[in-house]
C-alpha cells in the first residue's frame, strides 16, 4: 500500500533572533526560522501535513534558502543557497555576492522532499548588515 503524502508546509512565524554581524503542503512540527549572529537556524519538520511521520534523513532532499529585499516570496524567486536534509543552520556570510551593509533583507525557507515536493515558503524574517 502506498500512503499518499502531501506537499510539505514548513510551519514558521517571523522571528528575528538578532541583527546580522558584518562578516536561519511540509512538516507540521518545525520551529520558526531565526537569525542569530549571522546564522539562520531552523528545526526540521517531523511530519507531513497528513501527520505521517517524516524522517529528514530519508524523506527530505534538503532546504532552499531565499533572500531578497522585499518580504513577498513566490515561485519565481531564485534560490540563493541550499542546505542538506540534516542541516538546521546556514551561515549567511557564505551568500555570494555578499549582501550590502545598511540594506534590509528578508529570508525565507522551503523544504524539498526526495520526490520533489516543496513546502510553502516560511514567513520571512528581516535582517540587515551593519
Q: What is the CATH number of the domain that holds 65?
A: 2.60.40.10
Q: What pLDDT, on a 0 to 100 scale, did the predictor assign at position 32?
A: 57
Does any domain span residue 41?
Answer: yes
* Total count of domains within the chain: 1
Structure confidence at residue 76 (pLDDT): 95
Q: Does residue 29 sit within a domain? A: no
49 contact partners, CB below 8 Å, separation of at least 6: 6, 7, 8, 9, 25, 26, 28
Please tell me the distance from the alpha carbon of residue 52 to that of residue 11, in angstroms, as a whole number: 15
Is residue 123 predicted with pLDDT exceeding 70? Answer: yes
Q: Domain for residue 91, yes or no?
A: yes
pLDDT of 98: 81
76 located within any domain: yes
Residue-number span of the structural domain to which 104 is assigned: 34-128
Confidence at residue 68, expressed as pLDDT on a 0 to 100 scale: 94
Mean pLDDT over residues 101-127, rounded? 91
In a domain, 7, yes or no: no
pLDDT of residue 114: 94
- Whether residue 110 is contained in a domain is answered as yes
pLDDT one-digit tens code per residue, 3-47: 333 333 333 322 222 222 222 234 433 455 766 668 889 988 888
In this predicted structure, what is the pLDDT of residue 30? Answer: 43
2 vs 106: which has the higher pLDDT: 106
Q: How far apart are CA 7 and CA 36, in angstroms?
A: 29
pLDDT tens for 65-107 read 999 999 999 999 999 999 999 999 998 888 878 888 889 999 9
* pLDDT top residue among 124 and 27: 124
Is 89 inside a domain boundary?
yes
Task: Assess if residue 123 is contained within a domain.
Answer: yes
Q: What is the pLDDT of residue 27?
A: 41
Peptide bond into 97 cis (omega under 30): yes
Amino acid at each position: 500500500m502506498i500512503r499518499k503524502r502531501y506537499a510539505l508546509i514548513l510551519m514558521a512565524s517571523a522571528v528575528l533572533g538578532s541583527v546580522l554581524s558584518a562578516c536561519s503542503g511540509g512538516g507540521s512540527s518545525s520551529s520558526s526560522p531565526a537569525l542569530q549572529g549571522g546564522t539562520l537556524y531552523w528545526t526540521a519538520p517531523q511530519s507531513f501535513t497528513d501527520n505521517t511521520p517524516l524522517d529528514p534523513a530519508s524523506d527530505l532532499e534538503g532546504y532552499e534558502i531565499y533572500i531578497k529585499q522585499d518580504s513577498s516570496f513566490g515561485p519565481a524567486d531564485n534560490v540563493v543557497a541550499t542546505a542538506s536534509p540534516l542541516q538546521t543552520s546556514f551561515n549567511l556570510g557564505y551568500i555570494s555576492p555578499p549582501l550590502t551593509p545598511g540594506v534590509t533583507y528578508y529570508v525565507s525557507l522551503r523544504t524539498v522532499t526526495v520526490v520533489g515536493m516543496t513546502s510553502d515558503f516560511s514567513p520571512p524574517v528581516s535582517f540587515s548588515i551593519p
